[in-house]
Amino acid sequence: MIYAIGIGPGSFETMTYEAVKAIENSEVIVGYKTYINLIVDMIKDKEVISNGMMQEIDRVKKAVEISKTGKTVAVISSGDAGVYGMAGLVLELAEGEEVKIISGVTASTAAAAVLGAPLMHDFCHISLSDLMTPLDLIYKRVELAAECDFVICLYNPRSNGRPDYLKKSIELMKKHKQGTTPVGIVRNVSRNNQEVNICTLDTIDYEIVDMLSIVIIGNKSSYIDNNKIITRRGYENKR
């Protein structure tokens, strides 16, 4: 039996009860070492297999191997296992082993709660990582999402190897969104060192954004009030 578990954005409080129970039920925990560190208190004396980033296939193959010996194994993702996480790969490589996906609180909704209520209307998730997606397709999605007035959540927004993709994405968005559109940047959501910045498309400071950050860009109905971002859902029109 293999669990693919989303452990939430970081704190124990943002982990679902189902995730906690699944970790308790597992005999072996497999995951990227940064995420294992987030749940180290819960692991106790369980067997742990952790390795680095970009070794996802090896990690899942190992989990399948362990499951075949009759042990219950947990493959850990941050946030939700099915949002840029390990759930898909576990299902693809399971070779007939039973798989249970345990959903978690993803970075966008955790950050939205910190920022106010920016996701009150249609929104989308776009990852700016071009490790597995061609860059021109990423930029096309960014521009079309902006043209359709989606609230846009950018995952993997900026790294040392990709310092300019966020700036280019914001430039594409500004073809369709006003410079005054609210932007929320949350770094380390739900972790001890959480940092929050509310700005606009015109005033965004790219230097404060890294791979531990998520960036949420509002739509035409979004505004900033009392240091919170609110996206109107349209109740006033209904009335």
Ligand X SMILES: C[S@@+](CC[C@H](N)C(=O)[O-])C[C@H]1O[C@@H](n2cnc3c(N)ncnc32)[C@H](O)[C@@H]1O
| Contact map string, positions 122 to 161, toward ligand X, x by CB under 6 A | ---------------------------------xxx----
CA atoms within 13 A on the CB side of 14: 25
| Contact map string, positions 215 to 234, toward ligand X, x by CB under 6 A | --------------------
User: In 3-state terms, what secondary structure has residue 25?
Assistant: helix
Closest Cα partner for 56 from 24, 81, 38? 81
Nearer to ligand X, 116 or 157 (CB): 157
* Count of residues of this chain found to bind ligand X when the rule CB under 6 A is applied: 24
| Contact map string, positions 11 to 50, toward ligand X, x by CB under 6 A | ----------------------------------------
Residue 80 interacting with ligand X (CB under 6 A): yes
Cross-strand bridge partners of residue 137: none
d(CA 131, CA 41) in angstroms, rounded, equals 32
Residue 213 interacting with ligand X (CB under 6 A): yes
Residue 125 to residues 23, 44, 159, Cα–Cα distance (Å): 27, 35, 18
Place of tokens 């509002």: 218
Residues contributing to the site for ligand X (CB under 6 A): 9-10, 77-80, 83-85, 106-107, 155-157, 186-191, 211-214
